[in-house]
C-alpha cells in the first residue's frame, strides 16, 4: 500500500482502539483522570458519554491499561443489549468465571463469591460497559441492584457506563440508578488546534516526523469531520492513498475536498 511511499512504519489512521495511538486532548486527559479517580477511590459508578467516533472506546482501553492486573479484576462488556439474567452471565464470563448455574439467583451467588474473593485478595472489581445506551431498562435495574453489593466502607463492584449522548437521558429516566452515578463526563469533539495536533501526532507515532498535510488541508479536515477522530481517520487514510496513487509529496486542500466529495 502507501506505507513505504510516505515513509511510514504503520498505518497511522486506523479506526481501531490501539492505545499506542491515543492522542490526549485536554478533555481526554480530564476524562481519563476522572475514570481513574472513580476506580482507585472506589466510588461506585461513572457515566462517560460522547458522540459517535469521539474516542470513547479507545479511551476505555487506555484506562484499562493504566490499571495493574494484580490490583484490579476487570470485565468489559461491549454488547450489553441483554436481558438481566444473560447480562449477569456475561459479566461472569468476562471475569473469567465458569459456572454451571442456570438460575439467576445462582448466578448472583457465584458473582458475590467472586466479589468476596477480591476483597480477600485486596483487588478492586470493575465492570466496564461500552455502548451502554443499548442496555434494556430492565437490565439497568439489575445493574442498580448490583451496586447494592457493599461493605460498610466500600463498593464490592465499580461500574463504568460508556455510551452515546442519549445514554444520559436514559439514566436520568432511572432515578435510583441516576443517584448512584458519582461522576459524569461528556467527551466533546476535538477543536481545530487539537485536530492539527492529532494528525501530526498520529503520523509521528507511525514513523513519519514530517507532516505531509498542509495547514489549509487540516483546516478542511476539521470543517468536514466536526472534530470527530473516526471521521478524521477516514479522511486522512483515503488522502494518503490518493496522494500515493497520484505521486504527490504534499496533501493540500484540493485533495481533501476530492476525498470528501468521493466519499459522499
pLDDT digits (tens, 9 = 90+) for 79-115: 999 999 999 999 999 999 988 888 999 999 999 999 9
DSSP symbol at 238: H
Whether 160 and 257 map to the same domain: the answer is no
Task: Give phi and psi for 211, each to the nearest 5.
Answer: -95, 120
Whether 89 and 125 map to the same domain: the answer is yes
| The pLDDT of residue 130 | 97
**Boundaries of domain holding 198:** 3-18+190-262
The total of other beta-carbon atoms located within 10 Å of residue 73's CB is: 20
| The pLDDT of residue 264 | 65
Whether 158 and 256 map to the same domain: the answer is no
Cα–Cα distances (Å) from 63 to 36, 57, 66, in that order, read 7, 10, 5
Class of residue 226 by CB neighbours under 10 A (exposed 0-12, middle 13-18, buried 19+): middle
- Residue 162 pLDDT exceeds 90: yes
Cβ partners under 8 Å of residue 186, min gap 6: 48, 49, 50, 165, 168
Whether 48 and 114 map to the same domain: the answer is yes
Q: Which of 133, 161, 187 lies at the terminal end of a domain, its last residue?
A: 187
Query: What is the DSSP pairing of strand 154-155 with strand 150-151?
Result: antiparallel
Question: CATH number, domain at 249?
Answer: 1.10.8
- Residue 152 pLDDT exceeds 90: no
Query: What is the DSSP pairing of strand 150-151 with strand 183-187?
Result: unpaired
Whether 13 and 118 map to the same domain: the answer is no
Whether 176 and 237 map to the same domain: the answer is no
| The pLDDT of residue 153 | 76
Question: CATH number, domain at 102?
Answer: 3.40.50.300
Across the range 208-237, mean pLDDT stands at 97
pLDDT tens digits, 32-52: 999 999 999 999 999 999 999
Whether 219 and 251 map to the same domain: the answer is yes
| The pLDDT of residue 171 | 96
Percent of the chain with pLDDT over 90: 94
List the Cα angle 99/105/108 in 5-degree steps.
60
Whether 49 and 180 map to the same domain: the answer is yes
| The pLDDT of residue 140 | 95
Closest CA to 162 of 31, 44, 67, 40: 31
Whether 221 and 127 map to the same domain: the answer is no
Whether 10 and 43 map to the same domain: the answer is no
Q: Which of 187, 208, 226 lies at the terminal end of a domain, its last residue?
A: 187
User: What does the mean pLDDT of the chain come to?
Assistant: 95
| The pLDDT of residue 154 | 83
The count of domains in the chain is 2
Band (pLDDT 50/70/90 cuts) for residue 55 is very high
Q: Which three cell numbers stand for residue 158?
A: 465499580
Whether 89 and 219 map to the same domain: the answer is no
Cβ partners under 8 Å of residue 200, min gap 6: 211
Q: Which of 187, 211, 245 lies at the terminal end of a domain, its last residue?
A: 187
Q: Which three cell numbers stand for residue 148?
A: 447494592
DSSP line for 24-42: --HHHHHHHHHHHHHHHTT
Whether 124 and 195 map to the same domain: the answer is no
| The pLDDT of residue 253 | 97
Measure the CA–CA gap between 171 and 179, rounded to whole angstroms: 9
pTM for this entry: 0.94
Amino acid at each position: 500500500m502507501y506505507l513505504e511511499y510516505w515513509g511510514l512504519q504503520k498505518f497511522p489512521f486506523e479506526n481501531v482502539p490501539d492505545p499506542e495511538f491515543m492522542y490526549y486532548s485536554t478533555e481526554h486527559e480530564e476524562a481519563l483522570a476522572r475514570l481513574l479517580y472513580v476506580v482507585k477511590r472506589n466510588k461506585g459508578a461513572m457515566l462517560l458519554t460522547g458522540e459517535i467516533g469521539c474516542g470513547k472506546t479507545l479511551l476505555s482501553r487506555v484506562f484499562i491499561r493504566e490499571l495493574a492486573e494484580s490490583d484490579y479484576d476487570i470485565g468489559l462488556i461491549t454488547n450489553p443489549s441483554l436481558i438481566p439474567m444473560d447480562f449477569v452471565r456475561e459479566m461472569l464470563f468476562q471475569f473469567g468465571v465458569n459456572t454451571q448455574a442456570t438460575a439467576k439467583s445462582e448466578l448472583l451467588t457465584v458473582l458475590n463469591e467472586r466479589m468476596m474473593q477480591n476483597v480477600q485478595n485486596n483487588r478492586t472489581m470493575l465492570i466496564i460497559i461500552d455502548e451502554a445506551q443499548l442496555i434494556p431498562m430492565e437490565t439497568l435495574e439489575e445493574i442498580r441492584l448490583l451496586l447494592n453489593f457493599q461493605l460498610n466502607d466500600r463498593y464490592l463492584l465499580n461500574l463504568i457506563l460508556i455510551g452515546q449522548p442519549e445514554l444520559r437521558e436514559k439514566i436520568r429516566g432511572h432515578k435510583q440508578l441516576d443517584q448512584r452515578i458519582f461522576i459524569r463526563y461528556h467527551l466533546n469533539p476535538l477543536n481545530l488546534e487539537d485536530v492539527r495536533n492529532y494528525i501530526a501526532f498520529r503520523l509521528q507515532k507511525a514513523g513519519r516526523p514530517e507532516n505531509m498535510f498542509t495547514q489549509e488541508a487540516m483546516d478542511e479536515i476539521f470543517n468536514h469531520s466536526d472534530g470527530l477522530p473516526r471521521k478524521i481517520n477516514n479522511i486522512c487514510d483515503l488522502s494518503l492513498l490518493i496522494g500515493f496513487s497520484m505521486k504527490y509529496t504534499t496533501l493540500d486542500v484540493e485533495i481533501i475536498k476530492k476525498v470528501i466529495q468521493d466519499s459522499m
